[in-house]
Chain A
Amino acid sequence: MTVLVGRKIKKTYGKKSTAQEVLKGIDIEVSKGEFVGIMGPSGSGKTTLLNVLCSIDHPTEGVVEINGKNLRNMKEKQLANFRREQLGFVFQDYNLLDTLTVKENILLPLSISKLPRAVAESRLKELVKLLGISEILNKYPNEISGGQKQRTSAARALISGPTLVFADEPTGALDSKSATALLTNLENINKQKSVTIMMVTHDSVAASFCSRVLFLKDGSIYTELYRGDKTRQQFFQQILNTQSILGGDGYDA
């Protein structure tokens, strides 16, 4: 089943004279249960693509459909509702509210839904157990580590039971141990609960957790890799190889 469809997505910034085309007609399809990574050097349009796909930004041209719904036809309020109910978000800089405890932060997306408290509570229990943050529920974000913050953020993304989770450089601000722990968590959740995840990253290790990796170059899809039955190590090697062909070097500036 196809969860997300993007057709001929173009995004241009600036006025006519100074217009810069960031996305040059991208076609993408994501099926249920996939864990898709988007890679590419800086300025290739990774984050722009993610923002357009997740309805935070509007494409200049083209169509985005999630669960068969065309985002273009929705008003601001509908879009917001849609995001809250159908999508989950994990950002590089955690995006937790400082004034809320971990528990309050996780339950935030439910704050205007009519979900019974008991249901919310049981969902929360399950998620925090899965992510290993049951001990810190009553702490404030400034009292916990970066890895814990990001797992809190992930729990918040999953609490409303979304069809699709978008992650923008979720490991960008984490040390490698926390990063691996988080990615393992995401992979488990993807497999156990068959949650579809789309992740932008420039970290090849992070990308190797995905089931499919798209490579972006200058606003177009350059190639894509499927993990298939390969081990993570093999897939990681394959990603590295592709990157070296793509950008000439393994790490973009």
Chain B
Amino acid sequence: MTLSRLVFRSMRKNVKHYYLYFFALIFSVTLCFSFTTLHHNPTVVEALKESGTASAGFQSATYVLYFIVTFFVLYANHLFMKRRSKEMGLYQLIGMTKGLIVRLIALENIILFILAVAVGMVIGFFSSRLFAMILIKLLKLDLVIDLVFSSEAFIQSVIIFSILLLVILFQMTWMVYRVTLLSLFHASKKADERIKRFNFFQMAFGLIGLFLIVYGYYQSSVLFDMEKSHFKDLFLHMIVILASTIFGTFLFFRYSVSFIMNIFRASKKGHLKIRDVMAVTPIMHRMKGNAKSLTLITVLTGLAVGIMSLSYISYFSSATRAHQYSPYDYILLNDKGISFLDRLHQEGIEFEKDTYRVAEVKFDFQDLIGDFANQNLTFASESSMYVVPLSDFKQVSPDAQLNDGEAIVTSYQNMFSEIMPLEKGGDLSVRFNNEEEKVIIKEIQEEFMLSGTVTMASPLLVVTDTTFENISANQSPESFFNYQVGVNLVDNEDSPKAEEIYNELQEERKLVVNGQEYLPLSYEEEHHSYLSIYGTTIFITAFLGLAFLLTTGSILYFKQMSEAEMEKESYTILRKIGFSTSDLMKGIYAKQAFNFGVPLVIGLLHSYFAVKSGWFLFGTEMFTPLVVTMVLYVIMYAVFAVISTQYYKRIIKASL
């Protein structure tokens, strides 16, 4: 028999083992190729031109993707080789040299790889259009995507996958040469922990693991807390949190799980239920081999969900952010471009308008944050803030009430309000042109009214009309902003026309002070610019997240597949002595719930605490985006648990 015939024959016989590996390969190629094709699609390139960072983002995402895929393929190949260790042992036993075996397997690998790359590229090519459409949808653009074959993407992918093939061949050669004949026959058993008694150290390490995770969570919740003053060495604290949660996760899987299960098992005094036999004992005894991969999966899950949530938070918040920056559809500063209103009238566009009288005061920031003031922080002792009279404020907040000497702080939200919550009831002394007045902060509100172009996201002060008149009569000569008109369209249908007019009047609307230009954007423009930044971001992160998800899911699935095969013998025994398939499946459900559920739950917890510690740096709303991301992730992840359970079911059915 020639080598090539042996190769084909063994491939045909091994189809069952191969298809796991084959699908892993196809899936990786599909992801990579579809991403690079997308990246080179002319329509997409055109759409992304607007935001300068998008292309760079795509480029770096490609590298991350290659990294994930390389890691994944190496892992799959490793597992695949391990499953075939007996076969390789047999070849050696009948007198093949290692060199010949390497050639044999290399040949198989190359055939398989080329096939997978070809199939993956075809799927990737077509799916790239789907992904492009999703991207365009996210950017809220109205474009038609053509399916364009990019030779650049093709060449890039071919090069990358050729390198990957070389790496795999190298890994395979290394695996074949490293092992002895004897160990080949035991390779698939190596990960099993030989049954030992559980000792004190294990218990201690288990507890340390749990403690480290809790410590990391606690630290993350106070990361941006001023009272704990972590600002100085923020980076160091992030490293500490990361290290303690990851290491804690490892210790948890390596020791805590067995420890907890051992307590549970000991309490049964030998009278186990079938579920314990099928789930608890195998999990306990495999924990040594599985701890590393479960940790990895947990961390990757946490990372993926965390990153996706944060970018979704950003995307989700674009409308709110745009609204905070441009609280009205159109804003006119002072009397600049006031003819905009006349033009709207002429065009017969209906609108509502609010007008604000504005003044500027100086104040000490430390007064606002009260006893919270922290010596470590070097805030400029004097900041400035815009003031609006109560009667104008009532346009957005009709119920507002103020007595003499009282004031409301508003437009204070997000990042600032999370890091430095203001306290109401405190005194605030405001200065204007050498005069000083004390007001009591009655309330903290979240309404936005003034254009962010001028206020630069600093809070607003609402005072009684009398106080305001006093302030405005004594304005310092530098203050330039004293009036704002906010315009909202009655009918959104008029928006395109109004946008056009607003744009035409650009020159007139410009407020120039000391060579500094202030030109407010319309809400639409503001919103669009946020969308284009965060739309690309969320697309890229979601794509990477998907890669992470598929990788972790597949790794778990592969692991479960080989576990199922290793435990087949036990299933045969159990079925022989009188346990039905459904009895055994009860245990399998529990086992799958553990293997898939625990890394998922801990990963989600990790991401929850990570997101919670700093979400306000990314957007204005945490809950909905976080929950949506998690739910989607869990649903897709569950698919792997289901197919893995199905695999077990097949094995159990076939075991008798």
Contact = CB atoms under 8 A, between A and B. Distances in A.
A97 B272 contact: no
Contact of A80 (B271, B272, B282, B579): B579
Q: From B281, B572, B574, B578, name the one whose CB has the most chain A CB atoms within 10 angstroms.
A: B578
Contacts of B277: 97, 100, 104, 108, 111
Contacts of B274: 111-112
B87 interface: no
Given A56-B656, A99-B195, A109 B271 contact: no
A104 B583 contact: no
B285 interface: yes
A87 B580 CA distance: 14
Interface string B343-386: 00000000000000000000000000000000000000000000
B228 interface: no
Contact of B578 (A98, A109, A142): A109
A81 interface: yes
A130 to B, nearest CB: 18
A80 B575 contact: yes
Interface in A66-104: 76-77, 79-85, 87, 89, 91, 95-101, 103-104
Given A103-B270, A107-B272, A120-B271, A95 B579 contact: no
Interface in B621-656: 656
A76 B578 contact: no
A138 B395 CA distance: 80
A101 B285 CA distance: 12
Interface of B is mostly: helix
A99 B577 contact: no
B570 interface: yes
A109 B274 CA distance: 9
Interface residues of B, number: 28
Interface in B414-442: none
A74 B581 CA distance: 15
Given A84-B577, A108-B577, A109-B577, A100 B272 contact: yes
Q: Contact size class for A?
A: 35 or more
Contacts of B574: 97, 108
A55 to B, nearest CB: 9
Contacts of B12: none
Contact of A107 (B271, B576, B581, B656): B271
Contacts of A46: none
A110 interface: yes
B582 interface: yes
A100 B281 contact: yes
B270 A111 contact: no
Given A80-B583, A111-B272, A120-B271, A98 B195 contact: yes
B271 A140 contact: no
Given A83-B576, A99-B195, 16 more contacts: A76-B580, A79-B580, A89-B576, A91-B576, A95-B572, A95-B573, A95-B576, A95-B577, A97-B277, A101-B270, A107-B271, A108-B272, A112-B273, A120-B271, A143-B195, A156-B577
Interface of A: 56, 76-77, 79-85, 87, 89, 91, 95-101, 103-104, 107-112, 117, 120, 137, 140, 142-143, 156-157
11 contacts: A80-B578, A80-B581, A83-B578, A87-B578, A95-B577, A97-B277, A99-B281, A101-B270, A104-B272, A117-B269, A140-B195
- Closest CB pairs A-B (n = 6): A84-B578, A83-B578, A80-B580, A103-B270, A99-B281, A140-B195
Interface of B: 194-195, 269-274, 276-277, 281-282, 284-285, 570, 572-583, 656
